[in-house]
């Protein structure tokens, strides 16, 4: 797997994952929407840790800066 998630994108994903988890665990958002946000937050956290987003690969996006040699 080639990294396709840049540093800024990783930080945004982690912040959103924490916000979604906080909204769920403080019971601000409950029910189906709460479960969906919790699952989305988990996906954001995993993709930010791994540095690879399958959806980006399908669409052809890459937020990771290219290294110049």
Q: Structural domain of residue 27, as residue ranges?
A: 7-59
CB contact set of 5 (below 8 Å; sequence gap of 6+): 13, 47, 48, 51, 52, 53, 56, 63, 64
54 inside domain: yes
17 inside domain: yes
Q: Which residues of 7-36 are buried (b: 16+ CB within 10 A; e: fewer)?
A: eebbeebeebbeebeebbeeeebeeeebee
pLDDT of residue 13: 95
65 inside domain: no
1 inside domain: no
Per-residue pLDDT of the chain (69 residues; tens, 9 = 90+): 788 999 999 999 999 999 999 999 999 999 999 999 999 999 999 999 999 999 998 998 899 887 555
pLDDT of residue 2: 85
64 inside domain: no
**Cα(19)–Cα(15) distance, rounded to whole angstroms?**
6
* Total of domains in the chain: 1
50 inside domain: yes
SS3 at position 28: coil
């Amino acid at each position: 797997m080639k990294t396709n998630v840049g540093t800024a994108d990783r930080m945004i994903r982690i912040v959103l994952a924490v916000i979604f988890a906080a909204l769920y665990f403080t019971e601000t958002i409950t029910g189906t929407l709460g479960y969906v946000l919790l699952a989305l937050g988990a996906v954001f956290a995993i993709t930010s840790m791994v540095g690879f987003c399958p959806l980006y690969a399908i669409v052809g996006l890459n937020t990771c800066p290219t290294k110049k040699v």
